[in-house]
Chain A
Amino acid sequence: MLEVPLWKRLMLWGITIAAFAAAIPSLLSTAGVEIPDDIAAPSVNLGLDLAGGSHLLLEAKEEDIAAQKLQNIEENARQAMRNAEPRIRIGDVSTANDQLSFMLDNVADIDRARGELEPLMQGPNLTREWDLSFVDTQRIVLSPTSGSVSQSVDDAMEAAVKVIRDRIDALGTREPTIIRQGDTRIVVQVPGIEDPQALKDLVGKTAKLEFKLVDDSALPTQVQAGIAPPGSQIYPFAEGTDQAGTFIAVERLGGIRGDSLTTARAGVDSRNNEDIVSITFDSQGGQKFAKLSTENVGKNFAIILDDKVISAPVFNEPILGGSAQISGSFDADSANELAIQLTSGALPVDLTVVEERSVSAELGEESIRSGMLAMLIGSLAVITLMIATYGRFGIYATIALIFNVGGLLGLMAIGNFTLTLPGIAGFVLTVGAAVDANVLIYERIREERKRGRKVIAAVENGYKEAARAIYDANITNLIAGALLFAFGSGPVKGFAVVLVIGLVTSVFTALWLTSMWVADYIRKSRPTDLTI
Chain B
Amino acid sequence: MKLLKLVPADTNIKFLRLRVPFFVVSMLLIIASWALVLTQGLNYGVDFAGGQEVQLTFEELEEAPIGDLRDKVAALGYGSPVVQEFGAPNAVSIRVSLPEEAEGQPGAAAEIGSEVIETISSEFPNVRTDGNNTVGGKVAEEFQTSAILALGLAMLGVALYIWIRFEWQFGVGALFALFHDVSLTLGMFSLFRLEFSLQIIAAILALIGYSLNDTIVVYDRIRENLKKYRKMQLPELLDLSVNETLARTVMTSLTLLVAMLPLLFFGPASLFGLVAAITAGLFFGTYSSVYLASPILIWLGVTSDSFVPQETEADRQEKKAREAARGTP
Chain A residues within 8 Å of B, Cβ to Cβ: 52, 55, 158, 161-162, 165, 177-182, 185, 187, 357-368, 370-371, 373-375, 377-379, 381-382, 385-386, 388-391, 421-423, 425-426, 428-429, 431-433, 435-436, 439-440, 443, 446-447, 450, 465, 468-469, 472-473, 475-477, 479-484, 486-492, 494-496, 499, 531-532
Q: In the complex, which residues 181-219 of chain B have their Cβ closer than 8 Å to any Cβ of chain A?
A: 198-199, 201-203, 205-206, 208-210, 212-213, 216-217, 219
For residue B147, give the distance in angstroms from its CB to the closest CB of chain A: 5
The complex places the Cα of A424 from the Cα of B149 at a distance, in Å, of: 23
Closest Cβ neighbor of B165 among chain A residues: A472
Whether B151 is near chain A, meaning CB under 8 Å from some CB there, is: yes
Is A390 in contact with B3, judged by CB distance below 8 angstroms? Answer: yes
Interface size on B, residues (CB 8 A): 84
- Across-interface contacts of A381 in B (CB, < 8 A): 258-259, 262
B205 touches A357 (CB 8 A): no
Q: Which residues of A contact B87 (CB under 8 A)?
A: 55, 357-359
Give B3's nearest chain A residue, CB to CB: A391
CB of A357 within 8 A of CB of B255, answer: no
Residues in B whose Cβ lies below 8 Å from that of A165 = 140
Q: Which residues of B contact A388 (CB under 8 A)?
A: 3-4
Most buried by A among B141, B202, B219, B221: B202
Q: Which residues of chain B are within 8 angstroms of A465 by Cβ–Cβ distance?
A: 224
Contact present for A443 and B248 (CB under 8 Å): yes
Could you tell me if B206 and A492 are in contact, using CB atoms closer than 8 angstroms?
Answer: no
Interface residues in B229-275 by Cβ distance below 8 A to A read 244-245, 247-248, 251-252, 254-256, 258-263, 265-271, 274
One of B30-38, B114-122, B155-163, B315-323 at the interface = B155-163
User: What A residues does B261 contact at CB under 8 A?
Assistant: 378
Q: A426–B206 contact, CB under 8 A?
A: yes
In the complex, which of the residues A360, A375, A531 contacts B263, with contact meaning CB atoms closer than 8 Å? A375
Determine whether B50 belongs to the interface, using a CB cutoff of 8 Å to chain A: yes
Closest B-chain residue to A435, C-beta based?
Answer: B255
In the assembled complex, the Cα of A476 lies from the Cα of B208 at a distance in Å of: 11
Closest Cβ of chain A to B180, distance in Å, is 17
Instruction: Tell whether B146 is near chain A: CB-to-CB under 8 Å.
Output: yes
Min CB–CB distance B46 → chain A (angstroms): 9
Please judge, given known A-B contacts A476-B161, A480-B157, whether A436 and B258 are in contact too, CB under 8 Å. Answer: no
- Choose among B155, B244, B258, B278 the residue with the greatest number of A CB atoms under 10 Å from its CB: B258
Contacts of B219 in A (CB 8 A): 472
Q: Report the minimal beta-carbon distance from B107 to chain A, rounded to whole angstroms.
A: 14
B53 touches A181 (CB 8 A): yes
**Residues of chain B with a CB closer than 8 A to A161's CB:** 136, 140
Query: Known contacts A388-B3, A432-B210, A472-B216: does B154 contact A483 (CB below 8 Å)?
Result: yes
Q: Determine whether the beta carbon of B83 is less than 8 Å from that of A364.
A: yes
Which residue in A187, A440, A487 is a CB contact (below 8 Å) of B217?
A440
Nearest B residue (CB) for A424: B202
Q: Which one of A359, A377, A491 lies within 8 Å of B84 (CB-CB)?
A: A359
Give min CB distance, A421 to chain B, whole Å.
5
* Bound CA–CA A494/B270 (angstroms): 19
> Hey, which chain B residues are within 8 Å of A366, CB to CB?
66-67, 268
Cβ 8 A contact of A363, one of B138, B216, B252, B268: B268
Q: Which residue of A370, A487, A490 is within 8 Å of B267 (Cβ)?
A: A370
Q: Is the C-beta of B298 less than 8 angstroms from some C-beta in chain A?
A: no
Interface centre among A55, A450, A491 (most CB of B within 10 A): A491
Interface of B with A (CB < 8 Å)? Answer: 1, 3-6, 9, 50, 53, 66-67, 70, 82-87, 93, 133-143, 146-147, 149-151, 153-155, 157-158, 161-162, 165, 198-199, 201-203, 205-206, 208-210, 212-213, 216-217, 219-221, 224, 244-245, 247-248, 251-252, 254-256, 258-263, 265-271, 274, 278
Contact of A162 among B140, B147, B149, B278 (CB under 8 A): B140
What's the minimum C-beta distance from B44 to chain A, rounded to whole angstroms? 14
Q: Is there contact, CB below 8 Å, between A386 and B154?
A: no
Contact B153 A487 (CB under 8 A): yes
Q: A472, B220: Cβ atoms under 8 Å?
A: yes
Additional pairs, 17, CB under 8 Å, beyond known A378-B261, A436-B248, A489-B146: A178-B140, A179-B136, A364-B83, A371-B263, A378-B262, A389-B6, A421-B202, A426-B205, A429-B210, A439-B248, A465-B224, A480-B208, A481-B154, A489-B143, A490-B198, A491-B199, A499-B209
Q: Which residue of B lies closest to A489 (CB)?
A: B146
| Complex-state Cα separation, A191 to B1, whole angstroms | 50
Q: Which residue of A lies closest to B92 (CB)?
A: A360
Q: Which residues of A contact B86 (CB under 8 A)?
A: 55, 357, 359-360
Asked if residues B255 and A439 are in contact (CB atoms below 8 Å), the reply is: yes
Whether the Cβ atoms of A469 and B221 lie closer than 8 Å is: yes
A363-B270, A374-B266, A425-B278 known; A450+B9 contact, CB < 8 A: yes
The one of A185, A365, A386 that contacts B255, using a Cβ cutoff of 8 Å: A386
B5: A residues at CB distance < 8 A: 389
On whether the beta carbons of A391 and B244 are closer than 8 Å, the reply is no
User: Quick check: A364 and B66 within 8 Å, CB to CB?
Assistant: yes
Q: Which residues of A contact B203 (CB under 8 A)?
A: 425
Q: Can you give 8 contacting A-B residue pairs, CB < 8 Å?
A: A179-B138, A362-B84, A374-B263, A385-B258, A484-B150, A495-B202, A499-B205, A531-B3
Complex CA distance for A182 and B268, rounded to whole angstroms: 31
| A421 and B162 contact, Cβ closer than 8 Å, known pairs A366-B67, A490-B139 | no
The answer to whether A359 and B247 touch (CB under 8 A), given A433-B213, A499-B209, is: no
A360 touching B85 in the complex, CB below 8 Å, given contacts A447-B244, A484-B154, A491-B202? yes
Assembly CA distance A440 to B214 (angstroms):
11
How many whole Å from B220's CB to the nearest CB in chain A? 4
Q: A378 is contacted by which of B6, B143, B220, B259 (Cβ under 8 Å)? A: B259
Closest to B269 in A: A367
